[in-house]
Amino acid sequence: SSFPVVTVEDWVDTQARLADQLGIERWAAVVGGSLGGMQALQWTLQYPERVRHSLVIAAAPNLTAENIAFNEVARQAILTDPAYALGSRPVIGLRLARMLGHITYLSDDQMAVKFGRKRRPGSGQFGFEVEFEVESYLNYQGDKFAEWFDADTYLRMTRALDYFDPAAAAGGSLMAALARARARFLVVSFSTDWRFSPARSREIVDALVHNGQDVAYAEIKSVHGHDSFLMPDRHYHDIVRAYLDNVRL
């Protein structure tokens, strides 16, 4: 718990130091989704001469107020768990944080198809036990997550997301911030991703286009919400493959 708060910039610096130790002077491509996409973008700004291609997937140039709010509720679930204050594993807080977060990773359409209003066998007692299938699913995800994920890591990862905002150092101008990048870009978004919506990816694309920089963009139809970038979607994989097959690495 005494480990300092870190930023995306810090992570990129540590990755660059590791690359130095491995004797890697330049990356053919850096690829990331979500928070990883932010790192792929940040690499082009901190070390512009060391990246030839950046694949920024299901990401955003910064978090919206709504996203920061979701992160704060999840953190408070952990920080207010009595076990955390005592230095023990905050199982209840981690469960709640994961349940909340997982809702934001899915789309309404996906949840409707997968669960709808289906109830578990023997339900209908008009109480507060788990009755709906979607409740059962969220509880399962929360239990599983709390078994293995570290609470302090969760706190710091969400804070790193909150702080990421490359435009802030350029007077609020994303165009000015991205002007230093020398990489070519592939930006990918997903139609039902409401946490990092396609509009947020297009902000990155628009800034690059305005600067005359090389960027390709794809918005992929998917029912999986933000989790789409983790799914074995053939169209998505074909786009990434085609980009890498048809550019000079």
Active site residues: 34, 193, 226
CB neighbour burial string for 193-204, b if at least 16 within 10 angstroms, e if fewer: bbbbbbebbebb
Q: Are 48 and 16 in contact (CB under 8 A)?
A: no
Task: Give the integer Cα–Cα distance in Å for 52 and 163.
Answer: 26
Length of the chain: 249
Other residues' Cβ atoms within 10 Å of the Cβ of residue 168: 13
